[in-house]
Structure 1
């Protein structure tokens, strides 16, 4: 250890809900630690969500440690400002040793054991380091986007705010996961002509047989299913989230209904060349597969209702309201009046600043419930770190309590 290094037992990198949840437990256990946050604690909710963003899971699933949802609408869906207030309320509920606007630029193994962390230009030494910076670092935009005429505005979903942000004219949305499907609805409700490139994302109904589907799945213990017990095992981490919305009290996002109302649906985008979009011939398959996933979820709920002898209203099977005509014609962007593109094709993690051997050949971190093969080095807040809720408000407290137990050697109950 050099004379200028500062020493502390635990360093948490990332001051979002994951890092702060672990901080909450470490504060309660009186474990010395510091939380480094490159921006602010609420920045991802404030700076990287559109104006009409809302939760897609009901408010009752918001369960940060010692700070459960306490509002009057547990089965509603908090909008952006309410989410920010919820996270800020959690941060204000204790005194985390949080250092905002302090970016970590390197993490290496320390010659004296533990790890050396450079943050805000200062060097620190810690026996335990927790990476809680999430997995959504670099916005994905394809290389050919740079060749598209500059008269067509391009934004990533991370930077999309509202229809008013975009120039007048039609919009091409690329990607039909949660963000893409919700942004299509946002634009459609504003009266914009929208074209959507439909990928392989599955869908789920908001309500079924008298209840929110999330309520049924919670009763069925789906959210307690660990990644080790999931049929896909580690593959669950790579699956796209089901599209649905909590907007206006919650409802299905049916892309077929959008098409019936005038939204142009196309297959997976192959490329854009000379301002002409070319698509895969998979639109029908993608729509059918999404509906099939939804039907499978409903069937599992039906089986649970029957097995438990629950009285619940019966619903007729879903009947598609629109079918593609089988054509896969290219789309001339300018002829279609398209003046902007919203890229909704995800993110890549950026761990280049971590020089610790915890990654596989695909440069993905390897862990078991957040614990890596390097003593004292952990990850927290990633999708399916342990369960479905690991990257969400619903399950982060359980993961944080468990990692706090690994750090302290104690059995720490979930708050």
Structure 2
């Protein structure tokens, strides 16, 4: 929709093909208590910034939907809903965009399908006793959806820790398999840590300026929460309150679940990231001579006495598994040479070497904000301007597919 906004401004004929209803993912693929983890002021869709009365707060699901719907209604996008693209292929210099509702032709194609198509579950998940239901985070809506008994949440990215907290608040018995995801402070030295990072120019750093761009692209997002005004999540404090934690899940066989002995290492890695962000902010405050309140030094309030390597789910009363280990994109329909050996788009700021193919909405497409409300407008403007500049004035009214 951001791309469409700028294409409309440039007078470029185009169509937006949406597989479901508009904003389906926000409406149907988020759990009930979902909220932003970045402050509302970072919502900066094209010429449609957040205009509410709580810029430092965190919009909940219904407010997010109202925000994106308001953006959609702010201009007349040529949106076609309920259209599934099944093939994109270049034939005689023109792209054929085949759909379940007919064939389109296009001089340019912007792929804005994101990177969250296929939920990830490990191959060994198929060996788990079928009497233990396995749910993916994409299907989680509320604690009551989870079968009675103990739920093992696997993964500690943003979804995993927030769903674990959601069920804990509801009084459900939860256990957690802790992965290597990093964590972030929430409020530090007088304001939200993301406010400090923005002020420091961290969000303006491009992927090309990163020491190892491929490693940066593959990093998991730092976990924290915007729930109830926002707070950080320290898993060690949950352990003090009774949360049973394990290391990464390594294998499953029947009712047996095996773990790597990496619980403490993963907790330490998350804390290293947490402390690193605090240190960056501290250094910035000193360097700029900013008067900011002091904070107590970080301390580890808990550490595991032992690493549990195997459990029997039946004995432990574990009646369900909630997988929160991410997604993969699906480009099976894209028959254009623009992906690397791992199936990832090859591009520079969304522009591919293959003429006429563009990407938008991917994490680190250009900066940290590329896959978020903060940076998508800038990326969309860049892609739309590139298309406009490549077209001769007399041929701007062409058919493009977004």
Give the length in aligned residue pairs.
Answer: 390
Residue number in structure 1 paired with 2:209: 229
Mapped pair 1:216 → 2:200: no
Calculate the TM-score normalised by the size of structure 2. Answer: 0.95
Cα distance between partner residues in 2 of 1:237 and 1:327 = 31
Residue number in structure 2 paired with 1:277: 257
Deviation readout 1:299-353 (Å, 9 max, x if unpaired): 1101100011000001111111111112324122121111111000111111010
Shift of 1:144: 2.5
Residue number in structure 2 paired with 1:88: 69
Unaligned runs of 5+ in 1: 1-19, 411-415
Residue number in structure 2 paired with 1:4: none
* Equivalence map 1:308-323=2 (5 Å): 308-323=288-303
Shift of 1:176: 0.5
Secondary structure (helix, strand or coil) at the match of 1:107 reads strand
Cα distance between partner residues in 2 of 1:97 and 1:331 = 54
User: Equivalent of 1:63, from 28, 44, 61?
Assistant: 44
Residue number in structure 2 paired with 1:101: 82
Secondary structure (helix, strand or coil) at the match of 1:409 reads helix
Mapped pair 1:205 → 2:205: no
Cα distance between partner residues in 1 of 2:307 and 2:210 = 37
Q: Per chain length, whose mean CA-contact separation is higher, i.e. which structure has more relative contact order (CA < 8 Å, sep 6+)?
A: 2
Do 1:36 and 1:119's aligned partners in 2 also have CA atoms closer than 8 Å? no
Which has the higher mean CA deviation after the structures are superposed, 142-151 or 279-288?
A: 142-151
Secondary structure (helix, strand or coil) at the match of 2:209 reads coil
User: Equivalent of 2:109, from 129, 148, 152?
Assistant: 129
Cα distance between partner residues in 2 of 1:376 and 1:209 = 47
Unaligned runs of 5+ in 2: 391-402
Do 2:262 and 2:307's aligned partners in 1 also have CA atoms closer than 8 Å? no
Moved over 3 A (4+): none
User: Equivalent of 1:48, from 21, 29, 35?
Assistant: 29
Calculate the TM-score normalised by the size of structure 1. Answer: 0.92
User: Equivalent of 2:10, from 25, 29, 36?
Assistant: 29
Do 1:207 and 1:251's aligned partners in 2 also have CA atoms closer than 8 Å? yes
Secondary structure (helix, strand or coil) at the match of 1:372 reads coil
Residue number in structure 1 paired with 2:311: 331
Which has the higher mean CA deviation after the structures are superposed, 198-207 or 145-154?
A: 145-154
User: Equivalent of 2:91, from 110, 115, 120?
Assistant: 110
Cα distance between partner residues in 1 of 2:229 and 2:336 = 45
Shift of 1:107: 0.2
Do 2:263 and 2:307's aligned partners in 1 also have CA atoms closer than 8 Å? no
Cα distance between partner residues in 2 of 1:400 and 1:373 = 18
Do 1:37 and 1:103's aligned partners in 2 also have CA atoms closer than 8 Å? yes
Do 1:278 and 1:330's aligned partners in 2 also have CA atoms closer than 8 Å? yes
Deviation readout 1:173-204 (Å, 9 max, x if unpaired): 00011100111100111111111110110000
User: Equivalent of 1:249, from 229, 237, 248?
Assistant: 229
Shift of 1:120: 2.8
Shift of 1:125: 1.2
Residue number in structure 1 paired with 2:400: none
Which has the higher mean CA deviation after the structures are superposed, 257-266 or 228-237?
A: 228-237
Do 1:37 and 1:98's aligned partners in 2 also have CA atoms closer than 8 Å? yes
Deviation readout 1:251-289 (Å, 9 max, x if unpaired): 011111111111111001001112111100111110011
Cα distance between partner residues in 1 of 2:307 and 2:102 = 59
User: Equivalent of 2:54, from 53, 64, 73?
Assistant: 73
Shift of 1:150: 2.8
Residue number in structure 2 paired with 1:345: 325
Do 1:228 and 1:234's aligned partners in 2 also have CA atoms closer than 8 Å? no
Cα distance between partner residues in 2 of 1:258 and 1:35 = 45
Do 1:104 and 1:119's aligned partners in 2 also have CA atoms closer than 8 Å? yes
Cα distance between partner residues in 2 of 1:406 and 1:40 = 28
